Amino acid sequence: TLFKKTSKTIGLIVPDISNPFFPELVRAVEDVTNIYDYTVILCNSDEKIEKEKEYIEVLKQKYVDGIILTTNQLELAEVSELDVPVVVLDRPLNHSFPSVIADNYGGARLATRHLYEIGCRRIAHIQGPLHVVNAVERFKGYRDEMQELGLWDEDLVILGNYQLNQTKEAVLQALKEHEIDGIFAGNDVMAVGALKAVQQLGLRVPEDVAIIGYDGIPLTEMTTPELSTISQPIYEMGAIAARLLVKKIEGQPLEQIHHVLPVKLVQRQSTSKGE
Ligand code: RIB
C-alpha cells in the first residue's frame, strides 16, 4: 500500500506580518485549523517572489497537508506544480484554486465616492505595489470613479508600497507639487503615513485634506483624528479560507469555490467635515 505522508500541519505564506492586517488574518486561520488539529507554519515572503518559492519548497519538504497563499507573484506554472491542496487568500491568483478575497474594486469606488460626497474635488490616491493584484484593482476602482465624476487627473496618483516608510515622503512631495483636498490610501498603514505628512505641513485633517484608508485595522482608531477606512472582513476571510483548505485536505466537496466578500465604509473624523 502507498502511504501519503501527512503531518497535520498547514503552511501559510503572507507578505508581511508586521502589517497589522495580517495578524488578524493569521489568527483566524490558526483558530479554525486548530479545531481540526492542524498546526500552522507561518512564512513571511516580504513581497519577494524568490522567498515565496523557497518557502514553498521548505513547506513541501515538511510534508504540509495544504498551503494557504496570500501572494500573487507566483507564475501559473509554479503553482500548478504544487501537489498539495492550495487555497488563495486576499490576493487573487490567476488560477482555479479555491479563493477568498474581498471586493477591492468596489471598495475603492466607495472610498473615492465618499470623499467626493463630503466635498473633495482634488482626490489623490496612494497605490499599493503594482505587482499586487488587489492594489491594481483598487487603483482601477479609484480611476473609474474619478472618470465618472469628471475629476480624473493622473498627476493625483501617488505610488506607495503598502508600508509606512516612503509613503510619508511621497505624500509630502505630492502635497507640495499638486493641489490636493482628499486622499484615498490603498491601505490603512499608508493612510497613517499620509496623515503624518499632511499634519507635518501644518494642514488640517479633514478641513484642508480629508483622508480615508483601506483595511479596517485597529490602528485607525488610535490616530488623531481617527481615520475613516474601508473595512474588510479580515477575520472572516481567514476563517473561510481555513475551512476551505481543511475540506480540500479531507477530500470533502466544496459548496462554493470562489468567495468575494463585501467591504464597508467606516466613516470617522478624518472625513467628517463640520458634522
Ligand atoms: O495592508 C495590507 C494589504 O495587503 C491589505 O489591504 C490586504 O488586502 C493585502 O493584500
Residues 74, 156, single domain; the answer is no
Residues 94, 139, single domain; the answer is no
Read off the pLDDT band of 265 (50, 70, 90): very high
Mutation test residue for ligand 1: of 214, 217, 260, the one with most atoms within 8 Å of CB: 214
Give me the number of domains the chain comprises. 2
Residues 67, 114, single domain; the answer is no
Ligand 1 atom 8 nearest Cα: 90
Residue 151 lies in a domain: yes
* CA–centroid distance, residue 39 to ligand 1 (Å): 24
Ligand 1 atom 1 nearest Cα: 187
Position 2 scores a pLDDT of 62
Residue 17 lies in a domain: yes
Residue 65: CB within 6 Å of ligand 1?
no
Residue 2 lies in a domain: no
Position 273 scores a pLDDT of 85
* CA–centroid distance, residue 101 to ligand 1 (Å): 10
* CA–centroid distance, residue 208 to ligand 1 (Å): 27
* CA–centroid distance, residue 274 to ligand 1 (Å): 31
What's the whole-number mean pLDDT along residues 35-42?
A: 97
Residue 90: CB within 6 Å of ligand 1?
yes
> Which atom of ligand 1 is the closest one to the Cα of 132?
10
Residues 133, 110, single domain; the answer is yes
Residue 1 lies in a domain: no
* CA–centroid distance, residue 189 to ligand 1 (Å): 9
Residue 162: CB within 6 Å of ligand 1?
yes
Residue 140 pLDDT exceeds 60: yes
> Residue 24: which CATH number?
3.40.50.2300
Ligand 1 atom 3 nearest Cα: 187
Tell me the pLDDT tens digit for each residue of 220-259. 999 999 999 999 999 999 999 999 999 999 999 999 999 9
- As a whole number of Å, the CA-based R_g of the chain is 20
Residue 128 lies in a domain: yes
Residues 159, 245, single domain; the answer is no
Residues 209, 242, single domain; the answer is no
Residue 215: CB within 6 Å of ligand 1?
yes
Provide ipTM, 2 decimals: 0.95
Q: Beta 264-266 vs 228-231: how paired, if at all?
A: antiparallel
> Which atom of ligand 1 is the closest one to the Cα of 134?
10
Residues 179, 257, single domain; the answer is no
Position 224 scores a pLDDT of 97
Residues 150, 204, single domain; the answer is yes
Ligand 1 atom 7 nearest Cα: 90
Residue 41 lies in a domain: yes
Residue 185 pLDDT exceeds 90: yes
Structural domain of residue 64, as residue ranges?
A: 9-102+233-262
Residue 38 lies in a domain: yes
Read off the pLDDT band of 274 (50, 70, 90): confident
Residues 237, 205, single domain; the answer is no
Residue 219 lies in a domain: yes
> Which atom of ligand 1 is the closest one to the Cα of 188?
1
Residues 190, 74, single domain; the answer is no
Mutation test residue for ligand 1: of 44, 136, 187, 263, the one with most atoms within 8 Å of CB: 187
Residue 137: CB within 6 Å of ligand 1?
no
Residues 23, 96, single domain; the answer is yes
Residues 204, 91, single domain; the answer is no
* CA–centroid distance, residue 6 to ligand 1 (Å): 31
